[in-house]
Amino acid sequence: MSEYILEAVDVIKHYKQYDQVVYACNRAKLKVRDGEFVAIVGSSGSGKSTFLHICAGLMSPNDGKVMVRGTDLAKLNPDALARFRGNHIGIVFQNHNLIPQLTALENILVPTVMCGRRDHTYEEHLKKLVDALGLEKRLHHLPSELSGGQQQRVALARALINRPQVLFADEPTGNLDRQNSEEVLRLFTETKKLLGQTLVVVTHDMTIADSADRVVEMRDGVLYEK
């Protein structure tokens, strides 16, 4: 078994824009160890979201390889990939994509209905998450009754409920004001501390980058260690 939770090797992704080919990822490489918190920074259009989507198995590369805990994502058929994502990969987006008709708790539990294990440790894990994220008093509220920061906390709990090997987040504080951003940032560091969660976070927010173990910068589809 590899010592890395995530290994992205020479990832290439190009898009056609009119008569031009744009290389969003141009041999991007990244290796992340168990429990590491890696921040990806870089200017708009440098390829960060494309790279994150490929690492999370939401999009396939034109070339190169992504391994999550030793599993080559390209070797999985669509069903197996969906199952693998549900069980091993957590994702948080800028727009939290909560289901408006479901309460906070129901939203958090969505992934356990589709995948995951409701074994004897699951209640305990749920309680730990809810405590860590300070959601005890908000579980029966609808998303529209929650602040932006609380909604993002629910999205984070939903992404963590199946105990993913790695949590990916794309600009998780992008739509939040300073106070809510700081709150979400604190939660990332808490999940790392409390759950030993491996995190890969794309961010413009230098406070998030400062609290990461390692910062890498994307420039024109290539990742550089800072």
Ligand X SMILES: Nc1ncnc2c1ncn2[C@@H]1O[C@H](COP(=O)(O)OP(=O)(O)O)[C@@H](O)[C@H]1O
Of the ranges 28-36, 42-50, 189-197, 207-215, which one interacts with ligand X (CB under 6 A)? Answer: 42-50
When binding is defined by CB under 6 A, the residue of 17, 20, 77, 144 that contacts ligand X is 17
Token representation of residue 198 = 């491996």
Tell the smallest beta-carbon distance from residue 64 to Mg ion (Å).
Answer: 19
Other C-beta atoms lying within 10 Å of the C-beta of residue 70: 11
- When CB distances are held under 5 to 8 angstroms depending on the partner's kind, the choice from ligand X, Mg ion, none that residue 22 binds is ligand X
Per 3-state DSSP, what percentage of the chain is helix, strand, and coil (rounded to 5)?
A: 40, 30, 35
- When CB distances are held under 5 to 8 angstroms depending on the partner's kind, the choice from ligand X, Mg ion, none that residue 70 binds is none
- Cβ proximity to ligand X, 36 vs 170, nearer residue: 170
Q: Hey, what amino acid is at 72?
A: D
When binding is defined by CB under 5 A, the residue of 7, 32, 38, 49 that contacts Mg ion is 49
Tell the smallest beta-carbon distance from residue 49 to Mg ion (Å).
Answer: 3
Token representation of residue 203 = 């961010």
Q: Tokens 């939903």 belong to which residue?
A: 158
Tell the smallest beta-carbon distance from residue 154 to Mg ion (Å).
Answer: 22
- Cβ proximity to Mg ion, 75 vs 219, nearer residue: 219
Site string for ligand X, 43-82 (x = CB under 6 A): -xxxxxxx--------------------------------
User: How many Å apart are CA 43 and CA 203, to the nearest integer?
Assistant: 10
Token representation of residue 170 = 């794309």
Nearest-5° Cα angle at 89, 178 to 162 = 90
> Please, how many CA atoms are within 13 Å of residue 107, restricted to the half-sphere of its CB?
29
Residues that bind Mg ion (CB under 5 A): 49
Which stretches of the chain bind ligand X, using CB under 6 A?
Answer: 15, 17, 22, 24, 42, 44-50
